Amino acid sequence: MKDDRQVDFEALPWQIGAPGIRFKAAERGGQRIRLVEMEPGIEHDWCTTGHVGYVLEGELEIEMGEGVLRLTRGEAFLIAAGEAERHRPMVRDTRARLLLVEELDASAKVPPDPRGR
C-alpha cells in the first residue's frame, strides 16, 4: 500500500497549462508539488505567487523587477509571494524541467495553474 505522502510522478497524467507548459501535480496539506516542463521561446505572464523550485534539466531565466535570475541544472530558487518579487519565467534554448513547491490558498480550491496564478 502506498503512503499518501509519496508522489509517483510516473503514475500521474500530464496536464496542459499555458502554451508551452505541461505539468504533473499532487496536493496535500495545503501544499502542491509540480513537475513542470517548459518549452523554449514562450513569453509568460507576470506572477506574484511564491515558489520554491529546483531545475532538473535545461536552463531557466526568471525575470524579476530588479534583474534576471539565470538557473541551470542542479540549481534551486526561492521566490517570496507578493508584488515585490513578481516574476516571469523564460526558457531560451532547450526545454527546461523543474520541480516546484507552492503553498495553496486555503480559502479557495482551484485547479493548478502552471503560471502560478
What is the separation of C-alpha 39 from the centre of its chain, rounded to a whole number of angstroms?
13
Name the pairing type of β-strands 96-103 and 51-57: antiparallel
- pLDDT of 43 reads 82
Give the strand order in the sheet containing 59-64.
67-72, 59-64, 87-90
Residue identified by cell 523587477 is 65
Q: Would you place residue 58 in the very low, low, confident or very high pLDDT band (cuts 50, 70, 90)?
A: very high
Residue 35 has pLDDT above 90, yes or no: yes
User: What average pLDDT does this structure show over 5-18?
Assistant: 92
CA distance 49 to 34: 14
Encoded amino acid at 75, one letter: E
- pLDDT of 65 reads 83
pTM above 0.95, yes or no: no
